[in-house]
Structure 1
Amino acid sequence: MSYEFISVTAENHITRITFERPEVMNAIHKPMHDEMQRALDEFAANDDQYICVLKGRGERAFCAGSDLKAIAASTDPKAREYPKNGYAGLIERFDLNKPIIAAVDGVALGGGFEIALACDIIIATENSRFGLPEPLVGAVALGGGLHRLARQIGLKKAMGMILSSDSVDAETGDRLGFVNEVVAPYAMEEAIERWCGLILRGSPHAIRASKETVMRSVDEPSLEEAIKNQKDYPAFKEWYQSDDRIEGPRAFSEKRKPDWKGR
């Protein structure tokens, strides 16, 4: 599948999606939203792809959010519409249990921050900044950022960022808890490979079941209910019936590296 505003590679069980609009700080317009939807659909459906990494082209921005100039210049009423799974085809993709990593180098503002918050892991360079400045242009961050930020760092810290429309650097993001690791720009690729390598050590089915269990558990009314209901989660059932569940203990007993089949 060919793309104009993003690039996609799939190798060694890792799909890399790169935003390819550095001239506008990788801001997203309608065609790019649609391309992201298609790329993530393909990743989700490909049983041989276990991890997705999102990056932005250039050193200035991961993604500066919505391309307001493109929206303002368009006469198409659909220019403001998002695809099936919401902003960038990601923020309402609640059934994707494969891990997604945001590799942020530069600004992740507005919708760009919302994309990063929708990922499972955020690696950020020392040059990165994060924020939801939508109120400064009379808008509201409706791409999940208001909900996810409060859930991920707590109400008061989230309110401080949201109501001030202020941005924070990567070190602050690390202290607040939404950034997993801060690296120098030259060390980003090494960090991506390291995180992917760590994840790929585990059974793909076990990783997906773990992600789904965590995400669903926060919506359960109690810890007791979460533990009781986890056996009914779809990814949990797939893991329980998988060959990988047999291969793990067998490899351990035979003192060898597991040969995960992802099935």
Structure 2
Amino acid sequence: MAYEFIRVDREGPVTVFTLNRPDVMNALHSPAHFELHEAFDAFAADPDQWVGIVTGAGARAFSAGNDLKHQAMGGDMKSPPSGFAGLTSRFDLTKPLIAAVNGVAMGGGFEIALACDLIIASETATFALPEPRVGLAALAGGLHRLPRAIGTKRALGMILTGRRVSAAHGYELGFVNEVTPPQELMATARKWAAEICELSPMSIRASKEAVFKGLDEPSLEAAIKGQMRYPAAAALFKSEDFVEGPMAFAQKRAPAWKGR
């Protein structure tokens, strides 16, 4: 499908989603949200797509967040049920997403990155939730995901000041997985994706789902007891991969994963 405000490129089992509004630092407006909603729906539904990488077009920005000029001019501010960028309220996606942050990730842009499972950042990347500077608040998940990622005190240090954090500092705080030179960003993100693709997609989905659903359980005991009820775990035990993995190990060969 052709899109106007994003690019979607298939690379085998890896899909690259590029926010493609570099003239406004990849800030997003309503039409872009709905395009991303459709693209992530297609990604979720396709059994041959295993891992996603989200990045921004150009060298300046991953995403500057909400397109405030579009909002100020009375532009349509509707968003899909999946939230900002078709992602921040998408809680049923068990396929892993990697944010390849190539520059500014401000406000909603940072919230997109936080909604991904891993963040790989260029040395030039910067992160912030500066919404209070313009009379807004980071209500697309940033106020909840950041404390869960780095702890309440550290998160409030960013949230209550709106301060910018470098990629290196983000790594120290714990929300960035790896920092790379700008020219190596996409290669590094693809390396992470390739490592994930070496494993059973069914196992990866069950593992991701268990982590996030388990965090919502009232106790560790409840999480361990409850994980067998989760849909991705049930799908794992019924899958071809569940048979293929032990068989390949016994036969001393590389497994041929199906993702189904």
Q: Which residue of 2 aligns with 1:32?
A: 32
- Alpha-carbon distance in 2 for matches of 1:90, 1:231: 26
Q: Which residue of 2 aligns with 1:97?
A: 94
Q: Which residue of 2 aligns with 1:4?
A: 4
Structure 1 residue 176 corresponds to structure 2 residue 165: no
Q: What SS is found at the alignment partner of 2:160?
A: helix
- Alpha-carbon distance in 2 for matches of 1:113, 1:141: 10
- Alpha-carbon distance in 2 for matches of 1:64, 1:235: 34
- Alpha-carbon distance in 2 for matches of 1:155, 1:255: 47
- Alpha-carbon distance in 1 for matches of 2:190, 2:9: 15
- Map 1:10-25 to 2 at 5 A: 10-25=10-25
1:225 to 217, 222, 228: 222
Q: Which residue of 1 aligns with 2:114?
A: 117
Query: What is the TM-score with the length of structure 2 in the denominator?
Result: 0.99
Say what the alpha-carbon RMSD is for the aligned residues: 0.8
- Map 1:125-164 to 2 at 5 A: 125-164=122-161
- Alpha-carbon distance in 2 for matches of 1:72, 1:187: 37
C-alpha offsets along residues 174-206 of structure 1, whole Å, 9 cap, x if unaligned? 011000000000111220221011100110100
Structure 2 unaligned segments of length 5 or more: list them.
Answer: none
Paired AA for residue 11 in structure 2: E
How far 1:11 moved relative to its partner?
2.4
Paired AA for residue 72 in structure 1: A
C-alpha offsets along residues 149-177 of structure 1, whole Å, 9 cap, x if unaligned? 01110000000000001110000000110
Q: Count the aligned residue pairs.
A: 260
- Alpha-carbon distance in 2 for matches of 1:131, 1:59: 18
Q: Which residue of 2 aligns with 1:60?
A: 60
- Alpha-carbon distance in 2 for matches of 1:251, 1:98: 23
- Map 1:167-246 to 2 at 5 A: 167-246=164-243
Structure 1 unaligned segments of length 5 or more: list them.
Answer: none
- Which range moved further: 93-102 or 190-199? 190-199
- Alpha-carbon distance in 1 for matches of 2:79, 2:156: 26
Paired AA for residue 112 in structure 1: G
Query: What is the TM-score with the length of structure 1 in the denominator?
Result: 0.97
How far 1:262 moved relative to its partner?
1.1
The list of structure 1 runs, each at least 4 consecutive aligned residues, that deviate by more than 2 angstroms after superposition, is none
- Alpha-carbon distance in 1 for matches of 2:28, 2:71: 10
Q: What SS is found at the alignment partner of 1:58?
A: coil
- Alpha-carbon distance in 2 for matches of 1:200, 1:128: 26
- Alpha-carbon distance in 2 for matches of 1:183, 1:151: 24
Q: Which residue of 2 aligns with 1:42?
A: 42
Structure 1 residue 262 corresponds to structure 2 residue 221: no
